Amino acid sequence: MQAKFDKILVPIADVLIAEDQRQYVTFDAFFSNTMFHEVAHGMGIKNTINGKGPARKALKEKYSAIEEGKADILGLFLVTKLNEMGEFTETDLMDNYVTFMAGIFRSVRFGASSAHGMANMIRFNYFLEKGAFVRNDDGTYSTDMEKMKAASAELTEKILKLQGDGDYEAAKAWIEKDGIIKDQLKADLARVNEAGIPVDIYFNQGPEVVGLK
């Protein structure tokens, strides 16, 4: 995770996050956001509340994108609530929110056709609609923490309700509308690519690497 942070997230932040907010992109926030993402997978709605059976079955091929979106946003919601309760104070909330924003840019580069990519685009477009961030004239993005906090709570509720209802048609329509990379973001991500920032990191492995051959 440290390598992903150092080699990918920080360079992306240098390109796309407003200069006065780059100080809030921290490894501890990246780690805690990821940790609570995994915690959130184990929480929430597993079975519909209206007799449609498991949410996975009801949402069919759209389930993975919705579930990844739930884990991301519920994870941030958990960080926020635990911080407000005084139970999780290892990071400043602004760090978590700005790092979360930078993380959207990192994850969407895996492609909007993947579950993670679609989930990130849904969230990006939802945040855009709610004013949770603004795109500045210089092509960087600034996070409005209070608006993002409110949008995160609303989005968490929306996703959990969708899973609980097992509403396949609503999930399908939502993903088709907002689970895509629109032109402005495509251009911004092209700047990241032009900067030579890798999409992911790969470790050299094998007996040769450890001197066994």
pLDDT tens string 156-185: 999 999 999 999 999 999 999 999 898 999
Whether 211 is covered by a domain: the verdict is: no
Whether 118 is covered by a domain: the verdict is: yes
The parts of the chain modelled with pLDDT lower than 70 are none
Domains: count for the chain: 1
The beta-strand segments (E) located in the chain are 133-135, 141-143
Whether 19 is covered by a domain: the verdict is: yes
User: What was the pLDDT predicted at 117?
Assistant: 86
pTM over cut 0.95: no
Contact between residue 135 and residue 141 where contact means Cβ atoms under 8 Å apart: yes
Whether 207 is covered by a domain: the verdict is: no
> Which range of residues forms the domain containing residue 58?
2-194
Q: Which two tokens stand for residue 6?
A: 């150092």
